[in-house]
């Protein structure tokens, strides 16, 4: 990625002295005072603004650490670089405790965007609309599962006749959802690639799709894509905020959303996982 030095200078107040591309969308940039920042380029309208608002909202909880936001312009985001460390058991327990505190910081409603965050946001590169709701099962079906199911059908990842099993699961959500909970402050895209194990022994979270939701959704995504020392993360979480009885049996319900997002973005393989998850949840 070629960095626009004028953008970085405006957002950091410092001139650029060097850069190192990390991918087509990311670069590490050295400022003239020796600090290193990460510059992210996004082609989706409003994505930089949504990500910046999400990072600031997570930081405001004073729990899980996130990289400081230096600023954003349309298509550009500048944040602190996180010096990398190695996953460790103590860091995992600490992360679990901090994640529980983040969730407990709450949100005004299910689907509520971060303050100053747009209603039309993103999860990865997929559009994600943050419409508010008061009833989690209904909101989750209407705003998270069914929109991506319809898009997956339109794009051929899910065949029309297969969609019915997911629709049946949505109809049963009031029974399957477990005890009612208050809206939690979610990272929203909590797969292991967005969990950075920093050199200082603390986890940093990046690339949020932050919104108000059910806390089990973040935990289900950690289960779906794996996380180092996940059992220790859960130990720390349960110390601070014990999960409702039966939570492990609801993991599949919460994984439907990210699986369908991945079906939209990456195709049939994830669609098959989503369909099997729906079948097994209904059968269980």
Q: ∠ CA(159), CA(161), CA(163), 5° rounding?
A: 75
Among the options 120, 135, 189, 200, which is catalytic? 189
| Integer Cα distance of 118 and 46 in angstroms | 8
Decide: 17 and 31 in contact? Cβ < 8 Å.
Answer: yes
Chain centroid to CA 61: how far?
16
- From the list 57, 22, 224, 48, the residue with the least C-alpha distance to 122 is 48
Q: Is 189 one of the annotated active-site residues of the chain?
A: yes
Q: Where are the alpha helices (DSSP H) in the chain?
A: 5-12, 47-60, 89-104, 136-139, 146-154, 163-171, 173-176, 215-225, 230-240, 251-266, 268-283
Query: Which of the residues are catalytic?
Result: 189
């Amino acid at each position: 990625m070629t960095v626009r030095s004028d953008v970085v200078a405006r957002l950091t107040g410092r001139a650029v002295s060097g850069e190192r591309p990390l991918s087509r969308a990311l670069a590490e940039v050295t400022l003239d005072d020796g600090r290193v920042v990460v510059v992210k380029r996004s082609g989706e309208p409003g994505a930089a603004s949504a990500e910046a608002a999400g990072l600031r909202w997570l930081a405001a909880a004073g729990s899980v650490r996130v990289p400081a936001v230096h600023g954003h312009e349309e298509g550009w985001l500048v944040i602190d670089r996180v010096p990398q460390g190695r996953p460790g058991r103590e860091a995992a327990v600490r992360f679990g405790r901090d994640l529980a505190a983040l969730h407990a910081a709450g949100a005004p409603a299910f689907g509520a965007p971060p303050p100053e965050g747009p209603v039309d946001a993103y999860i990865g590169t997929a559009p994600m609309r943050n419409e508010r709701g008061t009833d989690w099962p209904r909101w989750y079906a209407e705003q998270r599962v069914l929109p991506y199911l319809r898009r997956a059908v339109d794009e051929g990842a899910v065949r029309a006749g297969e969609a019915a099993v997911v629709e049946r699961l949505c109809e049963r959500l009031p029974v399957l959802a477990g005890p009612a909970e208050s809206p939690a402050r979610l990272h929203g895209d909590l797969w292991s690639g967005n969990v950075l194990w920093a050199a200082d022994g603390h986890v940093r979270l990046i690339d949020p799709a932050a919104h108000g939701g059910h806390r089990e959704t973040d935990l289900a995504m950690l289960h779906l894509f794996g996380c180092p020392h996940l059992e220790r993360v859960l130990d720390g979480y349960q110390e601070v905020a014990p999960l409702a009885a039966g939570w492990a049996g609801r993991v599949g319900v919460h994984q439907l959303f990210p699986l369908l997002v991945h079906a939209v973005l990456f195709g049939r393989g994830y669609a098959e996982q989503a369909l099997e998850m729906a079948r097994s949840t209904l059968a269980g």
